[in-house]
Chain A
Amino acid sequence: GAVVSQHPSRVICKSGTSVKIECRSLDFQATTMFWYRQFPKQSLMLMATSNEGSKATYEQGVEKDKFLINHASLTLSTLTVASAHPEDSSFYICSASRTEGVKNIQYFGAGTRLSVL
């Protein structure tokens, strides 16, 4: 159990294109999902917390108009990189929080590598 699917795994696009990344919890409901960004050989940096049915909470320094998050259902959150530019090239990872007893544990998707030309 606790499978999180992230799609697509790889995107190559031209500058100015908008890119949508999907994160799905396949076998559990996730009221909270998280979006991270990871540069090569670096740690994961939280971008935003996505709550079903409400607006996402963005971390300081993350442009909400650039990184649009929609958490439309208990199993799906999407991240749209609006008008992507080469500096947006990175590895994006989502996670979904599953309740296990009184605890909430994050399970991660496989990530999406975005390359903007």
Chain B
Amino acid sequence: AQTVTQSQPEMSVQEAETVTLSCTYDTSESDYYLFWYKQPPSRQMILVIRQEAYKQQNATENRFSVNFQKAAKSFSLKISDSQLGDAAMYFCACGEYGNKLVFGAGTILRVKS
């Protein structure tokens, strides 16, 4: 069974600064994906970034990047130049190809102006 742990219930960041959200996971699968989803107050789940486990290169999407440490089973999300619109609940998730996702408990990110 897969498990995903987000140890930070809440984080704060000053606008324009950088913040890192932590995530660790455990899986017995050799092929799997890792994801970060954002859930704003509207509660719509938005895919932020994804990482294939077989790829060594860390994924990046504009201001969002990950630090994927496969041996340590760690998958942190870095948000650079934080904006007010980044404020949301962030979920880390692990899944097999085409199969169900297991989500972490989430981290509330607050952005201060």
Contact = CB atoms under 8 A, between A and B. Distances in A.
Interface residues of B, number: 22
A32 B46 CA distance: 19
Interface in A85-111: 91, 93, 95, 97, 99, 102-108, 110-111
A104 B98 contact: yes
Interface residues on A, range: 20 to 34
Nearest to A44: B103
A49 B105 contact: no
B44 A108 contact: yes
A43 interface: yes
Interface in B26-75: 33, 37, 42-47, 50, 52
A102 B97 CA distance: 9
B25 interface: no
B50 A105 contact: yes
10 contacts: A42-B105, A43-B91, A43-B103, A44-B101, A46-B102, A95-B45, A97-B98, A105-B47, A111-B43, A111-B44
Interface of B: 33, 37, 42-47, 50, 52, 91, 95, 97-106
Interface of A: 32, 34, 38, 41-44, 46, 49, 91, 93, 95, 97, 99, 102-108, 110-111
